[in-house]
Structure 1
């Protein structure tokens, strides 16, 4: 028994205080809660072991999820439902989400009805149907399938393996109407069909069992029903064994025609299995779920493994991504998917452990009727298949974005949002972003990336070596130099650098922004600009002391972070290139017996430092002008260098520190 309570607050000015007071009156029992807006729309559904304690986290701001402040800003009232256990709360939560589709809960992006294969077990002669409905009692559903073609092909394969009726057959519908009209005569339906029935076309070609012509009794047909259920569930071992026994018995009785028919069915199954990859030596039943997340959207892929084989994969698009914690995304999808399917495995493999795994396992076990466990694979074949599922989820998301034009819409929204948030004169169709990369002032470089209409314009990318002498890292000085070089009169007149940007983004906070503003003021150049702080993703602007905070999960924040990350990647790549050349030169120049001529000969012979490091002593000595003793010195020095770098990479906690330590090791080796 559950109790439903509704608490609302009419005055928006007092909503925060009122909600706190009302939440304090909520019981401490397990149950579900529904946050609602002023129009009464359900915004979010959650469950809890202790309703009061969980709901207090929302109103007191102790729930650190990014979406919570935005949710509570819209919330003016709530409902709660008290139940008897956490398991009941989970079941109720799934039903409420299915009923209300709250915008703050994880849901399927394309909320259509997915195809199923239905087995009408309530009929005297059950049939297979392709359907998008999933609600009729007495019918077992297999799926969901995310590809309608795959569902129809599976029905065709099943009928090649076991002759079976389909719901689209006119003769089957006639027999079914007869059975429903004469429920007391079910035992003689076969005799009636034998006398008055008309065999359908499928019976003549071997796909139909002959129900319409009285060729099969209900008892005989029930055996086919069990075989079909096992086949569609992926449990084919006993099925194949039974068919093999029947084929051998027919051959022993010299009924070679029947044996040949069974042999053809076994060949169909073998051909189907040949397309699947054997992933486990043991006949395990498990699902492997992988995800690929972007800022506000995600792809999900499920591999269904039955008896050690991948029998099917399903792909879905979710309406949440990096804007919700991974645990919440995974939990939401698991509940949504397994609420819709009756095909449950013994093990569900997911990428991250859930907050309430025991409750979810109890719910899944109750649906299957046997123990179902949640597992996070760490190594071996299971981890490999989980990784494959994530890869397929990424491709599913890419196909969805291309098919729907999702990226273009998101980009347009991002440009409009930036125009509003940064008080620009128009959408920033050309964005230039700068980043500095250095290790204690050594090999300092700057990158300039350009996004045109929200997309990377790599032909416009530029990189700069910082010329100002630096004793240690100084991003402010470096940024000022780059601004002077990029936006000086000569470069502004250079067509290769393109036109003046609509927005300038600096990877850094207030100091970098002030340095850029001062430099551009001296040059007499006016460009809207913002400094992006790494920690809180805040945009510092010149016209306000308070930074601009773009909404979490918004298209504009996604674009800004994408621009920043691309500038960082481009700067790091250039910095590593310079650092690698410097280390290479210092190593070879300090080896006794290697001068400019021999160094040139080595470079010509091997083409790169990577190939030289992989060469043997004999390979090096084979270069004209390189004596055996010098070749040995080169080989020994490079081996020592590789060993030191390996230690550095093993213990380096961050890329910058790793690069710094690598420079130090190279410097030490150059002095040997």
Structure 2
């Protein structure tokens, strides 16, 4: 491992995003030692893993690369376009790297390093709890099954994770009725385990002693224990039961069913009807499980389908484990990254973390994005599984439908988490306090009003006003305006001045239907739009805090500084103000399209020869809306009562021509 020398830290985690500061930080050094950029230039071009560190030496990010120097150079030159990179590089003071033989080895090492250091900028589970697993304690003469949240031990095989603890415990209980196996919580099993731990070579002798002096445990009497404590089973016979349990947990139930049927037939042939009856009851338990599980594929496929739903800095993940065509289990997770990282990075991070902690690897993993290193991840999973495993993105069919269902479940899981923890309320309160500080307001902006203009070269110009109360959309307060000024071309400044003059006129300010005075006024645009808003408010004698939000770099323009305010990427304040801006844009565009569509309906039908007021009313009464009319076939238009066939054909021809030349409003 090679390490770059650390220099004193000058930036703290969470400081405002500043690409210029990040670039200066990685290309200069206060202590006279080589800069980060100069140190990266000496990194080898071999595959391996890199660890970025902050001033205290803590690892803030771990990544892998086929070419270490080329990949790390993208960070120090800010060529990596992920939004978090400039912020992260402001915190980086040094780095380590580890050279390996192949990209596959780099992926395995990356997972080990992430598990060891838990870096802030890597994708991880949101809640820091450990998830439950079903474990089989290999390494013992008589391995036991147990429910556990322990860190993975070398000689124990783990199945899961299960996000529902009750489901994991119920699975163990059901499984022990199908394949009797010792439980790690059984006092008699612990006694035998201690004896074997002291004398591992004397397993046969200990079994003989147990047969003479041992007392069967309660589980043996109810058919869930094999009788290890009473010497009623040999290590070889017990090992066969353990293999059966593991196959069952891996989803290969048909193999277990086949073995049990053969055993039942053998017992019946030997006239051992008591043993045949026991096996029959086990088969009935499996049949009961099959009745409760949904068949999602006609073929016996083994796949995991993983869906995601992202919010600003948090995401939900849902895994459907399908074995032999049936949904065996569903697991839900909350991740600590969301829209603040690229989707492929979020998905890849989860896939690596999830399969690093489970031994249950399917033949195929279905996800909604194409991963750059999908082939390498597939090789890693194939090695863990011992057979081929592919990472696949389904485009259509049953797998795509199941993936969409998985994404809906991920969304519901995230919503439940946010409701349960109060995440949304905390996030909103944090956003309002951050806006108060960043925009130098006297108080948190509990009522925010935002305006946007939508036009088509000066025609059908409209304005929208949306209101957010306590950080939430207040749709009862939304208003929309038709711009009255005669415009021959798009003029956002004149339009904004008009709508603000109408909204904040004395009679409107006194109108209870328009609500109270806003704590913050947001205009969609940069410095020119902000200047127009300030001038109009000044003419009205109003002192309302106002800012402008530019689309290009998400910069917030304020009256009291020529330099725009840059809110931290991924911060609650930036997410809220963007949500306000986007909602005003959506509302304006919707109104603009409505006006334009209504005008087109009137003008186009009026211009068609043979369509007068009576026939136009008949057409619109028949279809109900212009959208339905434009989607209608010739036969459907001909079906309008009182409309001649030649006129119907002309209406159809004109509408098709209009659809071919239709354009969208500016700014869409």
TM-score between the two structures when normalised by the length of structure 1: 0.89
Is residue 2:253 matched to residue 1:236? yes
1:432/1:451 contact within 8 Å kept: yes
Give the C-alpha shift of residue 456 in structure 1: 0.9
- Distance of 1:352 and 1:30 partners within structure 2: 25
Is residue 2:567 matched to residue 1:553? no
- Distance of 2:631 and 2:87 partners within structure 1: 56
Partner of 1:104: 121
Matches within 5 A, 1:341-490: 341-490=358-507
SS of structure 1 residue aligned to 2:70 = helix
Partner of 1:668: none
Matches within 5 A, 1:229-268: 229-251=246-268, 258-268=275-285
Higher mean alpha-carbon deviation, 561-570 vs 226-235, is at: 561-570
- Distance of 2:580 and 2:487 partners within structure 1: 27
Matches within 5 A, 1:552-631: 552-589=569-606, 596=613, 608=625, 626-627=641-642, 630=643
Are the structure 2 counterparts of residues 391 and 593 from structure 1 closer, same or farther at C-alpha, using a change threshold of 3 Å? Answer: same
- Distance of 1:457 and 1:414 partners within structure 2: 17
Partner of 1:329: 346
- Distance of 2:287 and 2:626 partners within structure 1: 52
Listed one character per residue, the Cα deviations across residues 534-561 of structure 1 (whole Å, up to 9, x for unaligned) are 2221112222222222111111111011
2:450/2:584 contact within 8 Å kept: yes
2:136/2:145 contact within 8 Å kept: yes
Partner of 1:9: 7
Which of 43, 51, 70 is the aligned partner of 2:68?
51
Partner of 1:69: 86
Give the C-alpha shift of residue 302 in structure 1: 1.9
Give the C-alpha shift of residue 46 in structure 1: 2.0
Give the C-alpha shift of residue 51 in structure 1: 2.7
1:134/1:141 contact within 8 Å kept: no
- Distance of 1:18 and 1:80 partners within structure 2: 16
- Distance of 1:530 and 1:91 partners within structure 2: 48
Give the C-alpha shift of residue 450 in structure 1: 0.6
Higher mean alpha-carbon deviation, 39-48 vs 79-88, is at: 79-88
- Distance of 1:176 and 1:153 partners within structure 2: 25
Q: Gaps spanning 5+ residues in structure 2: where?
A: 11-24
Is residue 2:277 matched to residue 1:279? no
Listed one character per residue, the Cα deviations across residues 151-187 of structure 1 (whole Å, up to 9, x for unaligned) are 1111112122222221122222233233334434312
Matches within 5 A, 1:163-202: 163-202=180-219
1:285/1:306 contact within 8 Å kept: yes
Listed one character per residue, the Cα deviations across residues 369-420 of structure 1 (whole Å, up to 9, x for unaligned) are 3333322222222322222222222222111111111111111111111112
Are the structure 2 counterparts of residues 35 and 600 from structure 1 closer, same or farther at C-alpha, using a change threshold of 3 Å? Answer: same
- Distance of 2:288 and 2:238 partners within structure 1: 25
Partner of 1:156: 173
Partner of 2:308: 291
Partner of 1:209: 226
- Distance of 1:606 and 1:109 partners within structure 2: 51
Matches within 5 A, 1:92-131: 92-131=109-148
- Distance of 2:661 and 2:432 partners within structure 1: 43
1:591/1:633 contact within 8 Å kept: no
Partner of 1:540: 557
2:608/2:651 contact within 8 Å kept: no
TM-score between the two structures when normalised by the length of structure 2: 0.89
Is residue 2:161 matched to residue 1:144? yes
Listed one character per residue, the Cα deviations across residues 355-382 of structure 1 (whole Å, up to 9, x for unaligned) are 3334333333332233333222222223
Partner of 1:667: none
Which of 517, 527, 530 is the aligned partner of 2:534?
517
Is residue 2:525 matched to residue 1:508? yes
SS of structure 2 residue aligned to 1:363 = helix
Listed one character per residue, the Cα deviations across residues 299-356 of structure 1 (whole Å, up to 9, x for unaligned) are 2222222223221222221111222222222222222222211222232223223333
- Distance of 1:98 and 1:177 partners within structure 2: 32
Give the C-alpha shift of residue 638 in structure 1: 5.7
Partner of 2:543: 526
Which of 340, 355, 358 is the aligned partner of 1:338?
355
Higher mean alpha-carbon deviation, 399-408 vs 294-303, is at: 294-303
Higher mean alpha-carbon deviation, 158-167 vs 500-509, is at: 158-167
Give the C-alpha shift of residue 120 in structure 1: 1.4
- Distance of 2:622 and 2:162 partners within structure 1: 57
- Distance of 1:524 and 1:288 partners within structure 2: 60
Listed one character per residue, the Cα deviations across residues 450-502 of structure 1 (whole Å, up to 9, x for unaligned) are 11111111111111122222223322222111101100111001111111111
Are the structure 2 counterparts of residues 137 and 502 from structure 1 closer, same or farther at C-alpha, using a change threshold of 3 Å? Answer: same
Are the structure 2 counterparts of residues 593 and 643 from structure 1 closer, same or farther at C-alpha, using a change threshold of 3 Å? Answer: closer
1:4/1:82 contact within 8 Å kept: no
- Distance of 1:185 and 1:597 partners within structure 2: 102
Which of 276, 283, 286 is the aligned partner of 1:269?
286
Listed one character per residue, the Cα deviations across residues 423-464 of structure 1 (whole Å, up to 9, x for unaligned) are 211211110011122222332221111111111111111111
2:123/2:346 contact within 8 Å kept: yes
Are the structure 2 counterparts of residues 621 and 379 from structure 1 closer, same or farther at C-alpha, using a change threshold of 3 Å? Answer: closer
1:15/1:76 contact within 8 Å kept: no
1:428/1:502 contact within 8 Å kept: yes
- Distance of 1:65 and 1:365 partners within structure 2: 30
1:30/1:82 contact within 8 Å kept: yes
- Distance of 1:366 and 1:40 partners within structure 2: 34
SS of structure 2 residue aligned to 1:270 = helix
